[in-house]
Amino acid sequence: MYLVDYHLHTSFSSDSEAPMEDMILSAIDKGLDEIAFTDHVDFDDRYTLPDYNLYIPYLEDLKHKYKNDITIKLGIEIGLESTKADLVNTMTAAFPFDFIIGSSHSVRCYDLYFDQNEYFSTRTKQEAYSTYFEEMLLNIKSCNDFCVYGHMDFISRYGLYEDNTLNYMEYAPFIDAVLKELIARGKGIEINTSGYRYGINNCYPDIEILKRYKALGGEIITIGSDAHYTKDVGDHIGVAYDMLHTAGFKDITVFKGRRPEFIRL
């Protein structure tokens, strides 16, 4: 089986201190065939951005150094916000990323991490979660150059409710609208295994959303650990491969120059 981890952070992300080379060595040690570095770019003054004029040559050197051991791709995880679509589209056009994860880290300018209290304490769960998906739809329509939507039901990590679980059936009209728009635009979703490190004992998204994406005609799925530490590289990716099988997918997707390539499971 071709093992990939398509969601990795390094010390170039403001919330990680992991040296890129150590992440590579960890991936090789765990027997991975291919990885993509997807450091954060969020247009919010509370985050710092990588300097890609330094980043790209640095990654290229390491890619060359380990070329016989592992395939390494230049990726990015960019925070999508329809009100900042110009900034997002300018950034994705400026550098030769192989792979782009578009993620919702903020909703209506509330950062889900920094502004968690402000966003959730003023909304019912139904309002908070449905607004998240409505905003996601606007993001997909305005931020045009990404490959997969990151951790689609991620809002459930941050909710301040008694039960933060996000059930597909409760939000089906909102989620279906998002999935249909992604599929119409040739975009995928990721299976993000970080839920196992955040106490939900599950991936983002839940398998019900994965099955729905498939039923609507979607084919593009990447797998990523969202590791911010070397020990977490490849964490629980076996579970993600099992989910792909269970949901009826035949391939895993990798990217080159933002084009999907399909590899048999």
Build a one-symbol-per-residue string for 32-71: x at contacts with Zn ion by CB under 5 A, - elsewhere: ----------------------------------------
Q: Where are the alpha helices (DSSP H) in 39-171?
A: 52-65, 85-94, 116-121, 125-142, 155-158
Q: Least CB distance from residue 123 to Zn ion, whole Å?
A: 21
Nearer to Zn ion (CB atom), residue 10 or residue 103: 103
Choice between 196 and 262, CB closer to Zn ion: 196
**Does the protein bind Zn ion through residue 226 (CB under 5 A)?**
yes
Q: Which of 103, 156, 193, 225 binds Zn ion (CB under 5 A)?
A: 103
Q: Where are the strands (E) in the chain, listed by range?
A: 4-8, 34-41, 71-79, 99-103, 106-107, 110-111, 148-149, 188-192, 221-224, 251-256, 259-264
C-beta of 103 vs 230, nearer to Zn ion: 103
Minimum Å gap between C-beta 217 and Zn ion is: 26
CB of 248 to Zn ion, least distance (A): 26
Mapped onto helix, strand or coil, the DSSP state of residue 107 is: strand
3-state helix, strand, coil in the chain (%, to 5): 40, 20, 40
Distance between CA atoms of 34 and 19, rounded to whole angstroms?
18
User: Does 135 contact Zn ion by CB under 5 A?
Assistant: no
Binding site for Zn ion (CB under 5 A): 77, 103, 226
